[in-house]
Amino acid sequence: MQRHQLLARLHELLQPRTYFEIGVRKGRSLTLSRVPSVGVDPFFLLTHELHCDVHLVRTTSDEFFARRRPFAHFPEEVVDLAFIDGMHLAEFALRDLINTERHCHPASVIVIDDMLPRSVVEAGRGRVGSADGGAWAGDVFKIVDVLREHRPDLVVVELDTKPTGTVVVLLPDPTDTSLAAAYEDVVGDLVVPDPQEVPERVLTRAGAMDPADFLAAPIWPQLRAARRHGTDEARRRVREAYAAAGLLTNTAAVAR
């Protein structure tokens, strides 16, 4: 399954009220949205027709999140579905996730692209892999281990999508500041010269879930319904849905 097919199905199943995207580029993923949307990219050049009420911001994600009300465009300033596909470097992706989570709720779904590089070259911090037209995933894959160490409360599911894999982050908590507090120390370990050390489980996608199986999980009605409840009740309901679908067990098994 291609990453855009995954996104299209997530829009159908989750029925988000709002959509947020970092890394608009030509608008191929943003064109899937039919709800109020915000797209951030300092160099976007649209070639795809958009079908939503959209606010496009030509700036960096850091500058966007520094605004007093970055999601003022939304009727309710909260993100239901997010797609992070910005700079393909671990420190940028981690920062984007931290900042995005602050505007989410327990039933939000955050998708991060380029999480399963297929080679050491493709996982490099330089654009060597894309010099001849090949894909460039970068070293974004590193943030999975960071999340499992510093945020075990999150549900982190690796998906075997084409071409460079995705990760879905579930059960976000906008009040949790532990990852932000650890950011500077974590980044010191993440940023190292090429070639990168890519675990074999990443290269072989040994712990990745078939995206079709993930989409077939019986969680989507519960996620949609949870939006009507307060934070604590929503978190309880969503977590129960993930547990019943085996996603909590799946995540723990991968982490081991």
pLDDT of residue 127: 77
Q: What is the CATH number of domain 3-255?
A: 3.40.50
d(CA 23, CA 7): 14
| CA–CA distance, 182 with 223 (Å, rounded to integer) | 29
- Consecutive H or E run containing 4: helix 3-14
Name the pairing type of β-strands 109-113 and 166-170.
Answer: antiparallel
Element (H, E) at 169: strand 166-170
Dist. CA 154–CA 248, nearest whole Å: 9
Give the bridge partners for 38, in sequence order: 20, 55
How remote is the C-alpha of 244 from its chain's centroid? Answer: 23
Tokens (6 digits) for 121: 């070259």
Res 130: pLDDT: 46
C-alpha R_g of the chain: 17
Q: Give the three-state DSSP class for 57.
A: strand
CA distance 114 to 183: 21
Which residues on neighbouring strands pair with residue 156, listed in sequence order? 169
What residue ranges do the domains of the chain occupy? 3-255
Q: What is the mean pLDDT of each run of 10 residues along the chain (256 residues)?
A: 98 98 97 98 96 98 98 97 96 98 98 96 80 77 96 97 97 97 94 95 95 98 96 96 87 40
Q: Supply the pLDDT for residue 133.
A: 52
Angle between helices 178-190 and 90-101 (to 10 degrees): 170
pLDDT at 248: 87
pTM higher than 0.75: yes
Question: What pairs with residue 166 in β-bridges?
Answer: 113, 159
Q: Angle at CA 146, nearest 5°, toward 189 and 183?
A: 60
Say what the pLDDT of residue 250 is.
52
Tokens 């129960």 sit at which residue? 240
> Can you tell me the distance from the alpha carbon of 83 to that of 9, in angstroms, rounded to the nearest whole number?
13
Write the single-letter amino acid at 34: R
Q: Which amino acid is at 95?
A: R
Which amino acid is located at 162 in the chain? K
